[in-house]
A and B are shown apart, each in its own frame.
Chain A
């Protein structure tokens, strides 16, 4: 018998009380102020970097010819990958009726949304002339020009914008009953009004519940394939090209696995401290951590397989440029980054075979941090080491992120956490309605009223 998914003593009122307390009565605890303060400063750094970027152009970054893509693309892929865990948890696990998702899905979805927001800014900032970003959209213009549909970057626009929209709707739809609860529990007039407005007149009528459930399942059905398709298309961004190190059929599945891998790592990175700070042990139990770690272990193995196959194919292809690329990864200018990636994503992930690791929050937290770094490095390796030495040795050249590269990257981390802190402060971070349902239905759960 596996560990329980929630505290046996938990009841409906207890759930509402625990979850609704921080937004309504929690005030601004010190940890929140410190955390939000740091995030806010990073956000300001981000704004500064973006302002300078728009004033001067992408030349403020370290990119060059041959490495014309740099941190912007790396960060884009990283963030969008992180988002995937949220959708995976909320949609796929919902459809698979995995109850354990209930207590973490709100969080994961919020994370998805914020990660997509962070990811979404990068393709725009990445453009040489960002003010013309809308030329990638198929709109009827007077020039009668359409996007060039053979380019995976156009597919990306559809994939990411669809993903962002569905994620937002899905999150909001799930939030509705909880917003109503908040409205009802709020004492302050303006809080009442704000939550009331956001709750769209939810009264808890059975017709509301029926429609909400139906729409929720439909959106889950829509979101589920997106988990696969979005990162597949991001993988195709690379695979379509003929750059050695990018031109590879394994990229779509390998990218999807990597996305879920990194997404779960990020969920853990956030959930473990939050669970402690807001004392949510009753709802986010060791069981949850254990299950998430298992998902990471699986996806981590798929990713490791991807690394192996990349190496094999480089050798098996017999193509000089491919072999050079692989040798460069192993022993070239960026070899330290490559081996750090292997250490983080392959070696560190193997500790998850042990239950002791999976259930010990501190250890798991450290492992999740490693994986977050490792997945960022993976994108760094894919983007940079593939480009820096491709076909003509005369054009080889290195790329290193400079101050503005890092400022933009750290800035989006600031954006992400600032949004997350606001979310934790003002919205119920665990789905109360679903938790109640879970407690109600599960054997061992008791319900009152």
Chain B
């Protein structure tokens, strides 16, 4: 506003704006500022009008008064702004989780101090961003309301001071005794800091013993290495260089700390070989008693019992000119065929061949595998050796046996258990439940008040990896710093802190935090140079550069020793039990994780419970159907299990999953599954021969998510070969066009699309859990799964092809297809599902009234309905996990895959801020980011040269049910059929 210039007399003093500017001018100014009010009062408002407005005003005041009084709230800004925290923008921190003691590198997403999502660390040299379902689900365990919360002694709560002094006294007492009677039981420890702490703790207590127990241990590999090399060497396989891999009951892709790397190497190597056509496709040959992820991807696979696999190994050694006593009897025809193909492939591959023995195979077979690899010249090529990564590499079975003996003999004064749960997961014949009670004082440290904790005097709740400072090594030795993203939710302590108290530290060291301890460890290792930079870089990267374990040259193998090995005699047709970790729950440590309980297991699609897997042959022989209960008797022990018929299962083998039917896992696991541990003894840890099965009269409904496993001639999973690289079937409608006919032809728009490479997918399920974590997808429980109401937005369909005794197995992840002509959209009466400008088929939850017609009309059946209130009952701590960018759906609402629209929108925001388009690869959907095989590609079709565009141009690209003219945006890349594509180069 400018003072009026034309005022004839300057007025030095003014009393109001009107006086200063003149009435007319003021009105103009206010009109400009509030143009909407300008016309509110037309000239000459009448008395009548005035009364009207006054009346209305009074009524409004009355209405406003109807609001209930609010509690006074204070909104106070941060006094000190936390670093980098912008409300609404998540932060990402690199860290690591532990799986069987080894690092699973992650990047965790944190919203205002609350971690919500775990992604793989794409920079990590070993995993390169891949994740497992367990890594994805770990975030739920962090918030599990059943985690133990307080230190207890004899079941009673103990205050922190009393706890500290008690621990100090215990530590003092054990030091005075020189450690006699002190036994520490840990899981696999790869943490340099924890190892350092334990070693220093033990050095003051020289007579103390350190036991290690991990149910999914690698004892046979260790014994095999000892047998071969005379010492424990750790083999590392490089699948990216391999041309032929023979797996002797080894699940390279599903088991072991380096599985993520194997999956990735294999997928990328095959893709590259197919695209460049300059070399034959790498192939896997598998002999295994029960289907594994590796077997499903194998070019050739035979179903063979564990003894038969051994015999096959000897025969293979014979074919490759190793002097071993080859089995005298002829092999069955299918095994002979595999043997011939595998030995030929190995010979052709030479140093690029690889033979891997599985953990359930005896040490002799591991020794044979090493000898075969040496024979092929694979050392240094496809397999390298390092010193063991474990800090205390011992024979776990032996170690636990020694502990059990000491306990039974009453020689144990103090028993400190860090994390392990041997009562639930240990060998039944050690009778640890009774033994632990004989210890003078027992201390258990763990996430849950589990079976072991209940028998111990002390229980100390452990921190989750996202709550603690620590460090850990990955399978290749690369170390990561574990950094906390949240303060311990409840009164939990890390193992480092517990050990510090137990070491009865002098007063000045009592305040040493876990962070100090970890920094101390690495201050030494960092050596010269700026520690601050080292520390920050390591935290930022999520791993410590150059910490990979160096390769060592293994000693030459003494082949004469091999001659002493002999193949086992063929079994009489007795039944063999195979104990295998549950694909989702592992040894049972994930039993209280609802995401993993509800995760359909790769081959059976079973959720919420286990079953004895039997071959179709055995099912026919016994006349039993899926869900019939059987009684399994072995020696004195007997258990009951429902059966599940699994094609590809060796005829006389029964697979049992461990980790179920736990007594004290938590509320989620209550009454879920049937324990198999009572039959598991130290001697027959992996397999138990000579058992009898008897059918009981009971029938148990199995909660599977897929009941039909045949493709019914519908060309859903297609395969191509080098000669016939096109995925289009002759009698179907050709999908010809690269781009679906889009609703918009605006070239500046984004057009989102996805491809899923079925050749790369190993069916590991990581994407399913990743999607669940990202999109706030509820679990529904066993009963609801039985009713067919699971909520997964992406599912992995599994199909069999061919002979039921050893079929081909295919995995097909199915998210929403985002059809260009979406059948769901036209039938919704309220326009709750509509098409976006960018080609997304969008779901507007708060418009949905729940007619469910969209689901009926969806030929892909990817829509999920909230039949009941699935989200309301979540515990407060569980609600912390939820992604704030995704609506939590209420009952009666349809939902489905959105292509992670919240991520698209975030990327769009970022791009708009920078005034650019979203770059290709900048944006990853949750499923895509989680995939260790990079099977899922997502991006914009309008971006020239985008990855998804390249994939869509591939001759392998095809859509499913294209003949319905749905024009799906999600398409598939056909499997490269191993039988044809691989060998014909």
Contacts and interface: CB of A to CB of B under 8 A. Distances in A.
Contacts of A242: 823, 857, 859, 964
B707 A397 contact: yes
A68 B708 contact: no
Nearest to A324: B712
A128 B894 contact: yes
Q: B interface, by DSSP: helix, strand, loop or mixed?
A: loop
Contact of A396 (B707, B829, B867): B707
Contacts of A63: 852, 867
A96 to B, nearest CB: 36
A174 B814 CA distance: 58
Is the interface on chain A under 10, 10 to 19, 20 to 34, or 35 or more residues? 35 or more
A396 B708 contact: yes
Interface in B927-985: 960-961, 964
Contacts of A172: none
A394 B867 CA distance: 21
B176 interface: no
A202 to B, nearest CB: 41
A153 B860 contact: no
A381 to B, nearest CB: 15
Given A128-B892, A391-B961, A394-B708, A151 B852 contact: no
A64 B788 contact: yes
B855 interface: yes
A59 B866 CA distance: 8
A57 B891 contact: yes
A391 B865 contact: no
Contacts of B892: 57-58, 127-130
Interface string B846-872: 011111110111011101111111000
Contacts of B961: 391-392
A295 interface: no
Interface string A41-77: 0000000000000001111101111111100000000
Interface centre among B826, B848, B851, B863 (most CB of A within 10 A): B851
A389 B788 CA distance: 13
Contacts of A157: 829
A74 B306 CA distance: 54
Given A68-B865, A391-B860, A393-B708, A241 B852 contact: no
Nearest to B797: A394
Given A57-B868, A129-B892, A153 B710 contact: no
Nearest to B830: A135
Q: Which has the most chain A C-beta neighbours within 10 Å: B826, B853, B961?
A: B853
**Most chain-A CB neighbours within 10 Å: which of B830, B847, B868?**
B830
Interface of A, helix, strand, loop or mixed by DSSP: loop
A395 B826 CA distance: 22
Contacts of A146: 831
Nearest to A388: B788
A391 B826 CA distance: 19
B901 interface: no
A391 B959 CA distance: 14
A148 B851 contact: no
B865 A129 contact: no
B788 A65 contact: yes
B706 interface: yes
B409 to A, nearest CB: 56
A150 interface: yes
A354 interface: no
B829 A320 contact: no
Contacts of B867: 57-59, 63-64, 128
Nearest to B862: A395
Contacts of B880: none
A59 B868 contact: yes
Nearest to B826: A150
A127 B851 contact: yes
A399 B707 CA distance: 13
A308 interface: no
A348 interface: no
A104 to B, nearest CB: 36
B893 interface: yes
A391 B859 contact: yes
A152 interface: yes
Interface residues of B, number: 55
A392 B860 contact: yes
Contacts of B266: none
B741 interface: no
Interface in B868-884: 868-869
Nearest to A383: B856
Nearest to B894: A128
Contacts of A190: none
B716 interface: yes
A126 B851 contact: yes
Contact of B712 (A64, A132, A145, A393): A393
A62 B786 CA distance: 11
A153 B554 CA distance: 73
Nearest to A402: B787
Contacts of A67: 788
Contacts of B710: 393
Nearest to A241: B857
A283 B795 CA distance: 64
B817 to A, nearest CB: 11
Interface in B706-725: 706-714, 716
A408 to B, nearest CB: 15
Given A66-B861, A68-B856, A241 B827 contact: yes
A399 B849 CA distance: 22
Given A65-B788, A151-B827, A240-B827, A394 B798 contact: yes
A133 interface: yes
Interface string A140-157: 000001111011111001
Contacts of B338: none
Given A132-B849, A320-B713, A65 B855 contact: yes
Contacts of B850: 58, 127-129
A194 B207 CA distance: 102
Contacts of B827: 150-153, 240-241
A367 B727 CA distance: 56
A397 B788 contact: yes
Contacts of A321: 714
Contacts of B828: 148, 151
Contact of B849 (A62, A133, A389): A133
**Max chain B C-beta neighbours (<10 A), residue from A57, A65, A145, A395:** A65
Contacts of A151: 826-829, 853
A389 B868 CA distance: 24
A57 B869 contact: yes
Given A154-B829, A394-B708, A65 B864 contact: yes
A164 B570 CA distance: 78
B855 A392 contact: no
A390 B861 contact: yes
Contact of B865 (A65, A240, A390): A65
Interface in A114-147: 126-130, 132-133, 135-136, 145-147
A241 B866 CA distance: 22
B789 interface: yes
Contacts of B848: 128-129
B354 to A, nearest CB: 34
Contact of B826 (A56, A130, A240, A243): A240
Interface in B792-808: 795, 797-799
Contacts of B890: 129
Contacts of A57: 866-869, 891-892
In the A-B complex, the 3 residue pairs with the smallest Cβ-Cβ separation, listed nearest first, are A128-B850, A128-B892, A59-B867
13 contacts: A56-B868, A57-B868, A57-B891, A128-B851, A128-B894, A129-B849, A129-B891, A129-B893, A135-B830, A154-B829, A391-B861, A392-B961, A394-B812
Given A69-B853, A242-B823, A392-B714, 4 more contacts: A126-B851, A148-B830, A154-B829, A395-B706
Interface of B: 706-714, 716, 784, 787-789, 795, 797-799, 812, 814, 823, 826-831, 847-853, 855-857, 859-861, 863-869, 890-894, 960-961, 964
